[in-house]
Amino acid sequence: MALVNPSFLQEVKASKEFNATACMNCGVCSAVCPLEIDLLPRKLFRYVLLGLEDKVLENTPVIYQCLLCKMCEANCTADVNIAENIRFLRSYIGRKLYKL
Amino acid sequence: MPLPTGPVIGIMLDNLRKRDSVFPISRRKAVKWAKDLAIPVGGETVLYTGSMYQLLPYMIAAVNRMGKLENTFLAKMVGMGRFFNRMINVSNIMFRPRGSDHKRFGSIIRDIARLLQQAGVKFGYLYKEELYAGALAYDLGADDTFIAHARRVHSLLKKHGVRSLITIDPHTTNMLRSVYPTVLPDFDLEVKSYIEVLAARENLRPRNKVEGPIVIHDSCVYARYEEVIEEPRRLLERAGYTVVEPRDNRKLTHCCGGPIESLFPSMAHQIGVKRVEQFKKVNGNRVATMCPICMATLQQATGGALEINDISSYLARAFCEPGGNGKPASAKDNRSGL
């Protein structure tokens, strides 16, 4: 079961950095990813937009595995700032989970 | 067990906060490359290395050590390492770089400076005062630490009256040109990569004959973040080489894997191997990189099968006198700055 965390959702909505509402879930990002990670970024961004903090935190290793190489962004048909979104999630996890 | 992400990041950020760099580096060794090049201290235009090439020997040592801990029970000890690292400089004890690596990366910066001198570009250097630009902290999302560090860099540049920067690697270029202005509203310095500066200098002509194919590896950051794409090709061609494109090139270049080397060494190596396979499928066994991280990762991935060098090494062979200080024979075209 996945739980919606309203405070997480609020932080996402208040953020200037995170924006994935234009994502059409087409999957090109996953297809071109050099890491061949199925999750990133389309499913991950769904979790974020739905406020499913548990699901996001479960995928912490994958979020830090992202190369920020922007291959996905260069091929994204919806012009989503994927690398910046990943950085936002790292910032959130760094504060929330690792107390950095 | 994999390396614990939180403590590994924590060690690097603690180092940046307390010791000005993600891996504490010897400032004496960091400036050794400039010996006998007669580069003035400071000035309106400075060559800003951002210590990236100087950091690589430490990163290589760290990755080798961390790679051995990865997937062993010892990985758990990293958390304890962070605790002690706050008090004493554990990184310096744990990660001892090889002297040959210092020499290798230092000679690249030396070649870059010699190329700029050869092209008649006037520039200074901040020597031991120069600071790392903070790219890793930014990429890891450690915004508070990054912004505090960026302020320190900006204060240093203001103190020296610097107006324009010539950078030598894509990460420092990206930080100073595209990221700093978004977090420091009054950061208005002109920032150009030495590759862009050299490409614009038509007076830079080859002094030695070079030829043959060079396979070009675009850095993700130069190609997709900073759009530095045609300049390195123009320089290689002007030098006399034939530029060969691997399957993934220009804006669609393939990452070397290096950005995750410190957290996931095995995975980074696999990505590097995939990229090397693309090089092997085209004509030419010499590869040019433009980023110290790409060079180190790909050299490790190729296992000696290909000659992978920084682009500046190939360019220096054509444009500079062997072993010379690179100063132009005539001072006719000594235009100042960029």
Residue B78 pLDDT more than 80? Answer: no
Is residue A82, in this structure, part of any structural domain at all?
yes
Res. B338 pLDDT band, cuts 50 70 90: low
Asked if the model's pLDDT at residue A92 lies above 60, the reply is: yes
Residue A1 lies in a domain: no
ipTM (interface pTM) = 0.94
Reply yes or no on whether the pLDDT at B36 is more than 50: yes
Task: Encode pLDDT of B224-251 as tens digits.
Answer: 999 999 999 999 999 999 999 999 999 9
| CATH of region B206-319 | 3.40.50
Q: Is the pLDDT of residue B328 over 70?
A: no
Residue B65 or B142, more confident: B142
Inter-chain CB proximity A90 and B255 less than 8 Å = no
CB contact under 8 A, B224 and A69: yes
- Are A94 and B255 in contact (CB < 8 Å)? no
Q: Is residue A56 part of a domain?
A: yes
The domain ranges of chain B are: 7-199, 206-319
* pLDDT above 60 (res B324): no
The separation between CA A21 and the C-alpha centre of its own chain, rounded to angstroms, equals: 12
The 3-state DSSP composition of chain A as helix, strand, coil percent (nearest 5) reads 55, 0, 45
Domain extent for A68: 22-96
The pLDDT of residue B2 is 66
Looking at the domain assignment, is residue A8 inside a domain?
A: no
Look up residue B252 and give its DSSP letter. G
Per the domain annotation, does A5 fall within a domain?
no
Confidence at residue B330, expressed as pLDDT on a 0 to 100 scale: 38
Q: Do B224 and A73 touch (CB under 8 A)?
A: yes
Question: How do B190-193 and B213-216 pair as beta strands?
Answer: unpaired
What total number of domains does chain A contain?
1
Alpha carbon distance, N-terminus to C-terminus of chain A: 29
Tell whether A91 is covered by a domain: yes
Q: B126-183, pLDDT tens digit by residue?
A: 999 999 999 999 999 999 999 999 999 999 999 999 999 999 999 999 999 999 999 9
Which positions in chain B touch A73 (Cβ < 8 Å)?
224
What span, in angstroms and rounded, lies between the C-alpha atoms of A29 and A73? 7
On the question of pLDDT at A67 being above 60, the answer is yes
Which of the four pLDDT bands, split at 50, 70 and 90, describes residue B79? low
CA distance A29 to chain B (A): 13
